[in-house]
A = this chain, B = another copy of it.
Amino acid sequence: MIVSDKMKDFVLNGSAIRAMFEEGGRMAKEFGKENVYDFSLGNPNTPAPAKIKEAILEILETEDPVLVHGYMNNSGYEDVRQAVADDLNKRFGTDYDAECITMTVGAAGGMNDVLKTLLNPGDEALTFAPFFAEYRSYVGNFDGVLVQVPSKPGTFQPDPEALAEAITERTKVLIINSPNNPTGVIYTEESLREVAKVLLAAQERIGHEIFIFSDEPYRELAYDGKEVPFIPNLYKNTIVGYSFSKSLSLPGERIGYVAIPKDINDFEAVSTAVKTANRILGSVNAPSLMQRVIMHCLDERPDLGFYDRNRKLLYDALTKDGFDVTYPDGAFYLWVRSPEPDEKAFVAKAKAHRILFVSGSGFGCPGYVRIAYCVSPEMIKRSLPSFEALAKDYGLL
């Protein structure tokens, strides 16, 4: 067999989310697009802000094409990195500068850069379950071990005691994702302070740094006026990975950044390694035009109203149908307890009603499913009778 052993495993454990997304495409062809309710993928269904198009046009009119489409430092254009640093400092009172920022092909690119930098084979990356399924692949890319730490039942907040138990001498990094995919939960400042306390004590004990990698594609998606704590202000050894995919509806463009605080030990070595990883993993640099575009759009925010209306519409309807739904503070997912123990059977039954959503097992949390509501409100409305029928199948209504 031609394919390498590791890739065979990666393919076998392939993304269930992506498989469902492609199944949705096939079903749309079979039943008609209007009759399939695809809640599988975190693909924003609201257009990018008008400012994106304006910025592209302005850049093409006013800047040198050799600069706009050309190579730059592997960490990105210096003016873009400075603008990102300034924006973070203004919002969060931090003191980043251009040297701290590496522009990346989205948060996934950034996380790969950082994990390649930190992990020796066998080193452990921890994350609270449920967690974004792709972390398995990203950690596996560098022969690391992804250790799943349970979160608190019901609230899905970090469990500091479980964290303390999970840390070993091989622990190098804790991946945090808040607002969380798949639960929609925002980790509270109180929870995060407890996490920081555990990590500080553990660093002392095991004699080396434990970093937090804060995976922040959903930073701007918080509802009901909730604040998303900025983790570097609570724990020094925090590397932020940001993506403009969700906040500016640009997921296909692959644009994001990594921010490394200047006051970590070995800043120079770590930031050089992250930039080198960015170069050699294949991306070389983040896409150039989009780097320049986001420099014009750092003050843009997503259409929160759009997501909030979807959130309320679907949360209220599913709750009324009798489903057990975690109240979502952020992101654009509903986290729903399966009415039967095997949530894969629930996913299958929903598919019979032409509703597509994703099993919780992939997120390290069987018994639940994730429903992405970054879709058109019309599709949600059309889907409601099918959700009702599904509830009736389970005797919830």
Contacts and interface: CB of A to CB of B under 8 A. Distances in A.
B18 A47 contact: no
A146 to B, nearest CB: 13
A329 interface: no
B252 A287 contact: yes
A138 B253 contact: no
A79 interface: no
Contacts of A118: 2-4
Given A269-B3, A287-B287, A288-B253, A60 B56 contact: yes
A87 B253 CA distance: 24
Nearest to A65: B47
A266 interface: yes
A134 B3 CA distance: 23
A149 to B, nearest CB: 22
Interface stretch (A180-188, A223-231, A274-282, A380-388): A274-282
Interface in A40-75: 41, 43-48, 52-53, 56-57, 60, 64-66, 68-74
A65 B43 contact: no
B284 A287 contact: no
Given A2-B209, A282-B283, A14 B269 contact: no
B105 A284 contact: yes
13 contacts: A2-B269, A3-B269, A4-B117, A43-B70, A52-B69, A56-B56, A69-B249, A105-B105, A105-B254, A106-B283, A112-B281, A134-B280, A283-B283
Interface of A: 1-8, 10-11, 14-15, 18, 21-22, 41, 43-48, 52-53, 56-57, 60, 64-66, 68-74, 104-106, 108-113, 116-120, 123, 134, 137-138, 141-142, 208-209, 249-254, 264-266, 269-270, 272-273, 276-277, 279-290
Can you list the 8 inter-chain pairs with the closest CB atoms, starting with the nearest? A252-B288, A112-B282, A109-B282, A137-B280, A47-B65, A43-B71, A287-B287, A7-B273
Given A22-B73, A53-B65, 8 more contacts: A3-B269, A4-B118, A5-B120, A7-B117, A14-B276, A70-B249, A105-B284, A252-B289
